Amino acid sequence: MEFNQQENNQNSVISIEQGLVQLGHAQIKTPCFISRSFFTETKIKTIEDINKVSIFSLSSQDDIDILIIGTGASPKFLTAKQQVDIQQMNIGTESMNSESACRSFNLLLSDVRNIGLLLL
């Protein structure tokens, strides 16, 4: 699925298809983490793999207040313990299908928010 291109100096998502994410200036494989000025492929493959340590290592690369989690074709949700652990890091979370997650990420990125996107 293609998205409208945002600013080239930001890591906005241009398209997502079969395990590949096209950013304005790079292409990466999923699973991956994307924020305003940082992106990387990650070993977090399922929602069950998300924990404080894995999120800290990603969020420490770029200041984020909100983490959007794209869970593939259908939404999956964090457990209550996972939500509390991440909230203790002062990071809010939202889980949704990956296409919706990319659209939400681009919208909040253009709104100059400290946003992170984790695509599983």
DSSP annotation string for 32-99? EEEESS-EEE-S--SGGG--HHHHHHHHTTS--SEEEEE-SSS-----HHHHHHHHTTT-EEEEE-HH
pLDDT of residue 37: 92
Strand-pair partners of 5: none
In the predicted structure, residue 6 carries a pLDDT above the cut 50 = no
pLDDT category at 8 given cuts 50, 70, 90 is very low
Q: Report the distance separating Cα 112 and Cα 92, nearest Å.
A: 16
For residue 18, what pLDDT band results from cuts at 50, 70 and 90?
confident
The whole-number pLDDT of residue 56 equals 95
What number is the average pLDDT over the span 54-69?
A: 95
The answer to whether residues 75 and 104 touch, using CB atoms and an 8 Å cutoff, is no
Among 27, 18, 16, smallest CA distance to 68 is for 16
% of the chain residues with pLDDT over 70: 92
pTM score: 0.91
pLDDT attached to residue 102? 97
Q: Which residues contact 115 (CB under 8 A, 6 or more apart)?
A: 35, 36, 64, 65, 66, 67, 68, 105, 108, 109
